[in-house]
Amino acid sequence: GQQLNQSPQSMFIQEGEDVSMNCTSSSIFNTWLWYKQDPGEGPVLLIALYKAGELTSNGRLTAQFGITRKDSFLNISASIPSDVGIYFCAGQTSGSRLTFGEGTQLTVNP
């Protein structure tokens, strides 16, 4: 089956620093999604990417859909304490089925 490799598994940063995480796959996806999960909650959609090469921003977050359609990255600029959580990438095929990465646990020290 399809697998997503997400890295890093965890990050410990100081408030104000920039963050970068990425996902790679051996398979092509039609859509890349980035979700954030806070403790005790379900994943919340941050950014959706629909076209190869697409670069999309949502406030301090920027994500890109790789040209090969097999990878994506998420950047967070000027991190703040509420950025703490687990970030998941997900690839979607035409059948609406999602394949999730293993997640990146982000800790921001004030």
Partner 1 sequence: SAVISQKPSRDICQRGTSLTIQCQVDSQVTMMFWYRQQPGQSLTLIATANQGSEATYESGFVIDKFPISRPNLTFSTLTVSNMSPEDSSIYLCSVLRAHIQYFGAGTRLSVL
Interface contacts to partner 1, rule CB under 8 A:
1, 31, 33, 35, 40-45, 48, 88, 90, 92, 96-98, 100-103
CB of 78 to partner 1, least distance (A): 26
Q: How far is CA 46 from CA 25, 52, 74, 75, in A?
A: 20, 18, 10, 11
CB-nearer residue toward partner 1: 85 or 103 = 103
Specify the 3-state DSSP secondary structure of 58.
strand
CA dihedral 9, 47, 73, 61 (to 10 degrees): -90
CB-nearer residue toward partner 1: 63 or 90 = 90
Helix (H) or strand (E) holding 65: strand 61-65
CB of 47 to partner 1, least distance (A): 11
Residue 73, C-beta contacts closer than 8 angstroms, at least 6 positions apart? 20, 21, 22, 23, 63, 64, 66
CB-nearer residue toward partner 1: 52 or 77 = 52
CB-nearer residue toward partner 1: 45 or 80 = 45
CB of 33 to partner 1, least distance (A): 7
CB of 31 to partner 1, least distance (A): 7
